Structure 1
């Protein structure tokens, strides 16, 4: 029988990419990881790694082993969930990764609900964009991830992850106001309003993000290439740049969860104006009572959010 610990190291290598990354994540020396994987190769009787430049990659046989390891670990997660369900009261640590607007609009209220209902449950929050959080979820760095899905740009859904819709969050065109605070003369029709800003400076999220891909595609569908002068994942900075008349932006309604809009807003073209917020867990983890309690708290926190 193969050693489960060594199989998990092989799985970690697949998800993290390098021996150094596995060693850093697990607080091992790289030489120890290499030695353990060499012993696994001896157990299996075939090569599991092959050199590619200065790195290594998994062989076909190693990929087969990892697929079976994923199934074993999913079953163990189900066993952990069943044991936790059999106990009275929740305890332990729940690790959550979430993006900025969800962290501001939903997480504080959800934390309050969890604290009141399950005072022995320790919740650890990390602000992290979904592009980084979802691979980390697969690597078992987190138990639950709050992710966002933009129109025509679905979140990757690899095997081993379960997605659940939390809410639909409308997106709107945010306009820089006049010096006196009045609204600029922009057409009311969504596509015409967007097209009228062809010469406007924009603030958008960084290249490579789902939000940037969606925003660029939307501007191109209106017939222009956006003049992106500011790039940041910080939507509060997006808002400040719009308020100070430096740029236009696309802002989700979750930004206004704590109050009324402070800049003029316009609707976006139908079918392109809503992002979806999801909770994502590993397969087998969704039945864990701490995860179920967290998802319920997030649903309750989302109820009063205007949308």
Structure 2
């Protein structure tokens, strides 16, 4: 089925490179899948077309069957998930650290108390690493971040639901010359050293874009995955950091949080495969939504419907 999925993606997008991006695979990985499919089918499925490829007649015939088979498989998976509403079995969750720390504990405590046959597991990480694990079936539910100035991108077939929308602050040491302000213009932070998550992650890209938009070339000296570790350096006046509302606590003494100009926001979104929305996934999202109202420093989504199959959502 994975080889047929690769063929269908090439048929839809017209190139191996675009198919690879859609499937979150490398181009060489897609090429290997298609080469094996050709051997199994006993027909040549692709032929060169300039610097790209096109489907042969046999390729078009098989791609038509692939579309129907993949649609039937998605229907079968949905039917199995809907056989009953009993919340049991494994629930494999991946999420960014701040969302795992803030949103999951109460929700999981309720779920496991109400459904003792449910077995949740949790890993933390960034969307760039977690989305491929969702797509290949290693994870069932993600809690990923989407910055307003750097929206998260997901492939078709993934449903997104906004759980939390929150302000983002600049964290400065109380010894920093601008720390007495309530709001700081990012343009005023020229020459400031920054702590941030590693390159490729949403927080890193959002910081770089926010500063460059204000004419500031980022001086990122500390690449640290955890906000609390970043704040320990901020407290010693070594660096500044962009910190979403839910990550402000616990903060070490000596740290001030200033609103930004222009304002920055971050969403936490639940993500799951549309075709694999199981009762445990639905129950977990509902439990998180039930508890989010108890927090006063973050604004919940106000009735936003799920987004399905959007490549970029922000």
TM-score by length of 1: 0.76
Task: Say if 1:185 and 1:9 are closer, same or farther in 2 by CA, change over 3 A.
Answer: closer
1:210 pairs with 2:207 = no
Q: Which residue of 1 aligns with 2:13?
A: none
* Structure 2: distance between partners of 1:163 and 1:268: 27
Distance 1:20 1:273, change over 3 A: closer
1:156-171 aligned at under 5 Å gives the runs 156-171=153-168
Q: CA deviation at 1:38?
A: 5.8
- Deviation, 1:82, is 1.3
Deviation at 1:293, TM superposition (A): 0.3
Q: Mapping of 1:74-93 within 5 angstroms?
A: 74-85=74-85, 89-93=86-90
Q: Residues 35 and 48 of structure 1: is their aligned pair in 2 closer, same or farther, counting only changes over 3 Å?
A: closer
1:171-214 CA distance string (max 9 Å, x none)? 10100232xxxx7444636353x333212211122222222222
Other-structure match for 1:285: 276
Superposition RMSD in Å = 3.4
Cα distance change, pair 273–63 in 1 and its aligned pair in 2 (3 A) = farther
1 CA distance for matches of 2:47 and 2:133? 22
Which of 121, 145, 149 is residue 148 of structure 1 equivalent to? Answer: 145
Partner of 1:102: 99
What is the CA–CA distance in structure 2 between the aligned matches of 1:110 and 1:199, rounded to whole Å? 42
C-alpha distance in 2, partners of 1:210/1:150? 7
Greater strand percent: which structure? 2
Tell me, in whole angstroms, the C-alpha distance in 1 between the residues paired with 2:110 and 2:188. 45
Task: Say whether the 8 Å CA contact 1:167–1:276 is kept in structure 2.
Answer: yes
Q: How many residues align?
A: 277
Q: List alignment gaps of at least 5 residues for structure 2.
A: 10-18, 299-314
Q: Distance in 2 between matches of 1:72 and 1:302?
A: 37
**Shift in CA distance, 261/129, structure 1 to aligned 2, threshold 3 Å:** farther
Whether contact under 8 Å (1:243, 1:262) holds in the other structure is yes
Q: Matched residues in 2 for 1:58 and 1:120: separation? A: 50
TM-score by length of 2: 0.75
- Indicate if the aligned counterparts of 2:7 and 2:63 stay in contact, CA closer than 8 A: no
